[in-house]
Amino acid sequence: METTFHLESNTQEWILHIPKNNLSEDWLLQLIKRIELENLLQKANFSTEILALSEKIQENWWERNRAAFLNDVIQ
């Protein structure tokens, strides 16, 4: 499965072209929510200690849940 993404920009925005046949709308909406959250976190200007703790929590979660999360993907 080949997915070709194309990124453009104009003076005010980024434009990302994604083929519809490879990604579901639900998946894309989840990705947009994640991008919005990341944007809010950057604006919050958290200290590096809080960001490091967040990364460690995320790493620990991923290590504990990787197999179950990817079970349906890697078969």
**pLDDT tens, 36-60?**
988 887 888 777 788 788 889 999 9
Q: Give the amino acid at 13.
A: E
Over pLDDT 90: what percentage of the chain? Answer: 33
pLDDT computed for residue 1 by the predictor: 54
Which residue would you say has higher pLDDT here, 30 or 48?
30
Task: Judge contact between 5 and 16, C-beta under 8 A.
Answer: yes
Question: Contact, 8 vs 15, CB < 8 A?
Answer: yes
Query: Average pLDDT, whole number, for the chain?
Result: 85
What is the rounded distance in angstroms from the CA atom of residue 16 to the CA atom of residue 8?
6
Beta bridge pairs of residue 14: 9
Tell me the pLDDT band of 75, cut-offs 50, 70 and 90: low
At 71, is the pLDDT very low, low, confident or very high (cuts 50, 70, 90)?
Answer: confident
